[in-house]
């Protein structure tokens, strides 16, 4: 079932064609509408505070994206726990030991990147499904988090990182949080890596025969996701000022939902940073609208669940994959 089966698409409606090529358009529309609703419901919309609460989810979505783009069901379940681990290491281990400054950022990225690389290496060496490998890693990292931080760890209020949730010399801190993964992704766009990544995600057999080092691309994709998760952990701890091992699983599901909503096909080879961020924005703004409308907390799982289902079904419909009949 390789490229040979690709259908002719001459008669495809223009809108669908556009959406298939630019999957993030749906999330863009949703973001604009929801933002408008938010501004109406909440005339004094605090931009910096809202951006600060948005940043962890956005970076988590960015972290889930590379491995999904790399294809073959490359969903990284361990993103959530790795975020928490990063927060715990920062608040509980680096900061108290004089490493709480800017140098913490590369350390946390390396930590997350290393875990991601281990995921990727296991996937390619043992030829296991990424979901199983990263799910195992999810349990392992949660266990490590529980060991490292049996009780929540507080971040000192005067730590520089807290300004990531405020402002840095008048400049909104959250924008810097968002800028780091965006800049990294843009830098990678100047190299061959991103093209290789999309080629591998689109059709790994083709990429392999064309001479691309498929395994290396996959490992780097997982490592990149891990590194982003490291950043996301820092951003989260900057916002909530505690690192709590019991919240290890909070971001995995919702980050994947954001990526899916942003038009990144879970089959791989399409989508990207713009989609992930816009998907995250849509979800965040829905949350915000619900809060404004005073919908009780206990409803949230139902709403997230429904949104995720709708997002992936719509995504599958738009991606133009042949659906239905298998024979």
Partner 1 sequence: MSAAAGSPPRRGAWRALAAAQRRFPLLQLVLLVVAFVVGVVTLPGFGGGLSVVSVLVIAALAGLASIGQTITILVGGFDLSVAGFIVAGALLVTQVSEQLGIGFWGAFLILVPGALVLGGLVGYLSHRFRIQPLILTLAMGSFALGIVRGPSGLAVVGQAPTWLTGLSSPISTTFGLPVPPIIVIWVLVTIALAVFLRFTVGGRRLYLTGANPVAAEYALVRTRRVWVIAFAFSALCSALAGVMLVSFSGNVDPNLGNPYLFISLAAVIVGGTTGGGPGDYTRTVVGALLLTMVTTVLVGHGLTSADQQIMYGAVILLAMAIYGRERRIRDRV
Partner 2 sequence: MPTVDGVLLRMESVGKAFGPTVAVRDASLEVHRGEVHALMGENGSGKSTIVKILSGVHAPDRGRILLAGRAVAAFRTPAAALRSGIATVFQEVLAAPNRTVFDNLWLGADGLFRIAQGPRERRRRAEAALAELLVSPPPLDALVGDLDLSDRQACAIARALLRDPDLLILDEATSALDFDTRNRLFEIVRRRVAAGSGVVLITHRMDEVREVADRVTVLRSGETVATLDGAEWTTAEVVRLMTGQAHQLGDEARTDRARRAPGDVVLQASGLRVRADAAPLDFELRAGEIVGLAGLEGQGQDAFLRALWGLGDAGGAVTRVSSRGRQPIASKHAARRARIAYVPRERRAESIFDWMSILENFTATTLRRDRRGWLLSGRSALRRLTDYVERLRIKLGRPEDGIGTLSGGNQQKVIIARSLAAEPEVLLLNDPTRGIDIGAKRDLYALLEGLAAEGLAVVMLSTELEEHLELMDRVLVFRDDELAAVFPHEGLTREALVASFFGAEELAS
Q: Which of 36, 40, 213, 309 binds partner 2 (CB under 8 A)?
A: 213
Question: How many other CB atoms sit within 10 Å of the CB of residue 72?
Answer: 17
293 lies in the site for partner 2, by CB under 8 A: no
Interface with partner 1, residue 144, by CB under 8 A:
yes
Phi–psi pair at 127, nearest 5 degrees: 50, 50
Interface residue with partner 2 among 205, 309, 313, 317 (CB under 8 A) is: 205
In angstroms, the first-to-last Cα distance of the chain is 11
For residue 24, CA distances in Å to 20, 174, 240, 266, 320 come to 9, 22, 29, 14, 15
| 41 contact choice in partner 1, partner 2, none (CB below 5 to 8 Å, kind-dependent) | none
Q: Which two structure tokens, joined as six digits, stand for 220?
A: 């780097």
Q: What is the nearest approach in angstroms of partner 2 to the Cβ of residue 163?
A: 33
Closer residue to partner 2, CB minimum distance, 204 or 244: 204
Using CB under 8 A as the binding rule, whether residue 117 contacts partner 1 is answered as: no
CB of 21 to partner 2, least distance (A): 7
Residue 302 interacts with partner 1 (CB under 8 A): yes or no: yes
Does 121 contact partner 1 by CB under 8 A?
no
Q: Rule CB under 8 A: is residue 52 a binding residue for partner 1?
A: no
Name which of 36 and 187 has its Cβ closer to partner 2. 187
- The residues facing 243 across adjacent strands are 153
SS3 of 131, please? helix
> From the centroid of its chain, how far is CA 102?
23
Binding-site string for partner 2 from residue 250 to residue 289, where x marks contact by CB under 8 A and - marks none: -------------------xx-------------------
- Cα separation, 119 vs 75, in Å, equals 11
> Is 136 near partner 1 (CB under 8 A)?
yes
Residue choice 143, 171, 186, 195 for contact with partner 1 (CB under 8 A): 143
Do 258 and 283 touch, CB atoms closer than 8 A? yes
Q: Which does 243 bind (CB under 5 to 8 A by kind): partner 2, partner 1, none?
A: none
The CA distance from 182 to 61, in Å, is: 12
Residues ≥6 apart with Cβ < 8 Å to 215:
124
CA 213/CA 35 separation, integer angstroms: 42
- What mask, x for binding partner 1 by CB under 8 A, covers residues 254 to 273? --xx--x-----xx------
The rounded distance, in Å, linking the Cα atoms of 314 and 310 is 6
Copy the structure tokens of residue 211: 């001479």
**Least distance between partner 2 and beta carbon 201 (Å):** 8
Among 15, 36, 168, 313, binds partner 1 (CB under 8 A): 313
- What radius of gyration, in Å, describes the C-alpha atoms of the chain? 20
Cα 278 from Cα 46, distance rounded (Å): 19
Six token digits for residue 74: 């490359």
323 touches partner 2 by CB under 8 A: no
97 DSSP 8-state letter = G
Q: Which residues bind partner 1 (CB under 8 A)?
A: 73, 75, 122, 126-129, 131-133, 135-147, 150, 204-205, 208-209, 214, 249, 253, 256-257, 260, 266-267, 296-306, 308-309, 312-313, 316-317, 321, 323-327
Q: Which residues bind partner 2 (CB under 8 A)?
A: 1-4, 6, 8-9, 21, 188, 191-193, 195-196, 198-199, 201-203, 205-213, 216-217, 220, 269-270, 327
């Amino acid at each position: 079932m390789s490229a040979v089966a690709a259908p002719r698409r001459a008669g495809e409606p223009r809108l669908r064609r556009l959406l298939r090529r630019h999957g993030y358009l749906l999330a863009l529309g949703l973001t604009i509408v929801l933002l408008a609703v938010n501004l109406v419901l909440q005339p004094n919309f605090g931009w910096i505070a809202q951006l600060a609460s948005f940043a962890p989810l956005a970076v988590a979505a960015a972290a889930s994206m590379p491995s999904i783009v790399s294809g073959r069901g490359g969903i990284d379940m361990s993103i959530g726990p790795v975020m928490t681990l990063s927060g715990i290491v920062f608040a509980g281990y680096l900061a108290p030991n004089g490493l709480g400054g800017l140098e913490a950022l590369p350390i946390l990225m390396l930590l997350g990147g290393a875990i991601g690389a281990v995921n990727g290496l296991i996937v390619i060496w043992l030829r296991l499904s990424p979901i199983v490998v990263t799910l195992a890693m999810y349990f392992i990292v949660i266990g490590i988090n529980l060991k490292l931080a049996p009780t929540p760890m507080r971040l000192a209020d005067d730590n520089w990182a807290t300004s990531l949730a405020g402002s840095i010399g008048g400049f909104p801190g959250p924008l810097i949080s968002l800028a780091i993964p965006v800049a990294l992704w843009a830098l990678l766009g100047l190299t061959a890596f991103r093209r290789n990544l999309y080629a591998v995600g689109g059709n790994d057999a083709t990429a392999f025969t064309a001479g691309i080092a498929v395994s290396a691309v996959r490992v780097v994709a997982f490592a990149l996701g891990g590194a982003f998760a490291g950043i996301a952990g820092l951003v989260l701890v900057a916002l909530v000022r505690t690192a709590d091992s019991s919240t290890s699983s909070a971001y995995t599901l919702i980050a994947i939902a954001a990526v899916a909503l942003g038009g990144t096909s879970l089959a791989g080879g399409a989508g990207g940073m713009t989609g992930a961020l816009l998907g995250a924005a849509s979800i965040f703004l829905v949350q915000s609208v619900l809060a404004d409308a005073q919908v009780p907390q206990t409803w949230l799982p139902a709403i997230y669940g429904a949104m995720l289902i709708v997002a992936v079904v719509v995504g599958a419909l738009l991606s133009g994959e042949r659906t239905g009949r298998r024979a």
